[in-house]
Structure 1
Amino acid sequence: MLTAKQIESGVLAMGDPDIAQHSQRFFKTGEGEYGEGDIFVGIRVPNLRKLVPQYKGIELDELGKLQQSQYHELRLLALFILVKKYQLAKTENDQKRLVDYYLNHLAWVNNWDLVDSSAHHILGNYLLERDKSMLYEFAESKDLWTRRVAMITTYRFIKHNQFEPTLKLATMLINDKEDLMHKACGWMLREIFRQDRQVLDTYLKAHYQQMPRTMLRYAIEKHEPEVRKMYLQGLI
């Protein structure tokens, strides 16, 4: 049986100290920063993704050990494997089991790349035609990453022209204190633009003056330069 220890041993051997040092800075692991205390071994994301076919057969109890690793790349790899398992799930019961696993290990989905690599692939797909109330509960969490899961999950809904969850969450999170949430909200609003500009423009006209600057800039990134300027000057 494939074990977390076996995977960990192989992955750690791939580490590069120079890449690790860069990642420590990029993911803000210093004291008081959002990724404080996170540890990197230095492996590029494409190289982690190449390991998924080799390790996708790992049982969930062993995957859970990997998910709880102190090493960022091992947690990310565990999520890549989980996403693949979800994509291969053949029954609704299998999907629910994987979603339950994800929710039970949410404490270790604890940086923006971990959230962005998993939330919409797993929760987004599962909740597409189901009740979405858990996301509104997540948006009220004190934990930054749980709030980000709520918003990024809606990426899948947007692709299916379900915009209301994103808009509701953006309004709930409009006064969030974290810049990473401003970016997440603005990003999802920008994705609505790609699907239906009128929906976004209607929402922006009602809310843009209350938005944090970062959220607004992300949301209007694909608008024409002159329109962006008018939004930023409060002239819409």
Structure 2
Amino acid sequence: MPRCAQDRRRHRVRHRRHQVRCRHPAGPVLQGLPAPVRSPTVKTSATVRALSREFKAQADPEYRKSVQRFFKEPVKLYGVRTPVFREIVRCHWQKVRDLPKHEILGLCEELLALGNGEERGAAFEWALRMRRQLAPADFYRLERWLKRHVSNWAACDSLCCGVLGFFLLDHPGFLSRLRAWARARNRWLRRAAAVAHIVSIRRGRALPQACAVAGILLEDPDDMVQKGYGWMLKEMANSRPREVFDFVMKRRARMPRTALRYAIEKMPRSWKRRAMAKPREA
């Protein structure tokens, strides 16, 4: 991209961030943008309506179109650039952070019911910010969110590397539940079975459970699932490279190449050659 185009793009992002203020209402709605995706039966609070209005006011149609190329399926979003999105979420969090836990989670449920990417991201972020208040019973709420409100890889990874991943770090007894997800028909549950381990893996935990899930998903035909468990193995390899290499070498004849490439991405070049070679050549 030419430098002048890059400068204009940076200026637009800075300008939009400057417009976001906690004490000021959202600006005028951009013309030609779709209405928020919501069911006619969904009732929203003033807090959620204000957040949605600000997302829509800060929407960038050009950005919305560009994001679609990263997904195979259509995604519903306004097109708020990431720095602006984070600032809006932070500002509105300041207004609700002192509410009781059940009220904040209720607001998250309202946001998820709207069906747009930005509101879903805000719900996951707010839930993450109150992770210390979550109790074991909240696992079933997070599982329900995964089943009902995750329909693409970005939403899956946002939930799994956010509030769900940290919940499992704080309550490791629920890690065993992920094996059932690995056998589910829902592709996003299967991807989540792997990706939800990553927060714990980065802290040196849940390695046996992660290997068990990788074994279940080993021959999964879905490329989104293959990338998910391959990414999980790559994270394991950061601290246990030999263990992951041995895991891969024993199973590489049955392991899809997509998952294999992800798993060995950061390994030494000689190890990569051995892993990618045909079995008789290793």
Normalised TM-score (structure 2): 0.73
Task: Say whether 1:47 aligns with 2:47.
Answer: no
- Cα distance, 1:52 vs structure 2: 2.8
Code of the residue aligned with 1:156 in structure 2: it is V
* Equivalent residue, structure 2, for 1:122: 163
Query: Does structure 2 conserve the Cα–Cα contact (< 8 Å) formed by 1:23 and 1:40?
Result: no
In the other structure, the counterpart of 2:124 is 79
Contact 1:55 1:81 in 2 (8 A): no
Letter in 2 for 1:81: W
1:101 is matched by which residue type in structure 2?
A: R
**1:118 Cα deviation (Å)?**
2.2
Indicate the structure (1 or 2) with the bigger Cα radius of gyration: 2
- Output the amino acid matched with 1:44: R
SS at match of 1:132: helix
What are the residue-to-residue correspondences of 1:135-174 with 2, within 5 Å? 135-161=178-204, 162-174=206-218
When the two structures are aligned, how many residues end up with a matched partner? 224
1:27 to 35, 55, 71: 71
Query: Residue 61 of structure 1 is aligned with which of 79, 99, 106?
Result: 106
Distance 1:14 1:213, change over 3 A: same
Letter in 2 for 1:147: R
Of 160-169 and 121-130, the range deviating more from structure 2: 121-130
Following TM superposition, by how much is the alpha carbon of 1:51 offset from its aligned partner in structure 2, in angstroms? 2.4
Contact 1:138–1:149 (8 Å) recurs in 2? yes
| Deviation per residue, 1:39-98 (Å, 9 max, x gap) | 221112232222232223272222211112232222122212211121xx34xxx34465
Structure 1 residues 43 and 97: alpha-carbon distance in aligned structure 2, compared to 1, 3 A threshold: farther
Q: 1:75 to 1:131 in 2, by over 3 A?
A: closer
Let me know the Cα RMSD of the aligned residues.
Answer: 2.0
Tell me, yes or no, if the aligned pair for 2:230 and 2:261 is still in contact at 8 Å.
Answer: yes
Change (3 A) 1:46 1:95: farther
* 1:5 has 2:42 as partner: no
Measured in 2, the distance between the counterparts of 1:170 and 1:181 equals: 10
Contact 2:56 2:78 in 1 (8 A): yes
Determine what percentage of the aligned residue pairs are the same residue: 26
Q: Which moved more, 1:70-79 or 1:53-62?
A: 53-62
CA distance in 2, matches of 1:98, 1:121: 14
Cα distance in structure 1, aligned partners of 2:270 and 2:158: 34
Matches within 5 A, 1:153-232: 153-161=196-204, 162-232=206-276
1:24 and 1:40 in contact (8 A); partners too: no
Amino acid at match of 2:144: N
Normalized against structure 1, the TM-score is what? Answer: 0.86
Match 1:16 to one of 54, 60, 85: 60
**Are the equivalent residues in 2 in contact too, given 1:185–1:215 (CA < 8 A)?**
yes
How far, CA to CA, are the matches of 1:61 and 1:229 in structure 2?
A: 51
Aligned to 2:149: 108
